[in-house]
Structure 1
């Protein structure tokens, strides 16, 4: 509930409460607010349990579409298209269909030599055609 309120906001609220209510009434007001929030939380929990007991197993079936909607919050169109087109497999993981002209030990897609990590102090290769 308070995941979007940080320490600076709480400090400002406490300071505003101190000025508005005064030091005498601030502890009473904070205790009242805590009790009220706890009561509301208990009411919501009780209502959920009552609905779950009355509906029974159909309650889980009602929750599935809501969970799918929550999953849409993190929807990435690129991932969705890739999963749809390639059945969840990364096309780069599969060996490409070569034309038989690649050298042994080279990358079948480009015919380039296999990649290796650079040694310390070694400059990366420079290709004027691609730069």
Structure 2
């Protein structure tokens, strides 16, 4: 119930309660709060038990989708997309295959001879416009 509340927040609430209620009324307010939380918890447990008794075996059918929804709280979109795209591939980027293996990361066989170096394009002369591709712009 109070999963997102840390000790620092609880300490701040206690100090604020001490200032607002004063030291003489704070223990009484804390006891009232504890009783109220316990009553709400008992009501929820009773309602769950009553629902389970009335529905019988159908209750299990409804409980599974609820458990699936609870698991969505821990949903990590980055992990889900990675699993979907790479489908459990231990080396999705092919980094392990770069050490000189016989197969490239894309699955094609690696070249046995070293390709000839591409010649460097000549630098532009002063005032010359660079080549453009009208389809790319």
TM bin, normalised by shorter chain, reads 0.5 to 0.7
Name which of 61, 77, 80 aligns with 2:81: 77
**1:129 corresponds to:** none
Q: Does 1:9 align with 2:9?
A: yes
Shift of 1:29: 0.6
Flag structure 2 segments of 5+ consecutive residues without an equivalent: 93-99, 105-109, 112-137
Root-mean-square deviation (CA), in Å? 2.5
Task: State the partner residue of 1:90.
Answer: 89
Q: Choose 1 or 2 for highest CA Rg.
A: 2
Instruction: Name the counterpart of 1:31.
Output: 31
The match for 2:103 is: 109
Once the two structures are TM-superposed, the CA of residue 91 in structure 1 deviates from its matched residue by 7.2
Superposition TM-score, scaled by structure 2 size: 0.58
Alignment partner of 1:63: what SS? helix
From the superposition, tell whether residues 90 and 17 of structure 1 become closer, same or farther in structure 2 (CA, over 3 Å): same
Matches of 1:50 and 1:80, distance apart in 2: 41
* Whole-angstrom CA distance in 1 between matches of 2:70 and 2:17: 36
Aligned residues: 95
Structure 1 unaligned segments of length 5 or more: list them.
Answer: 84-88, 94-105, 113-131
Q: Per the alignment, in what secondary structure is the counterpart of residue 23 of structure 1?
A: coil
Larger CA deviation: 18-27 vs 4-13 = 4-13
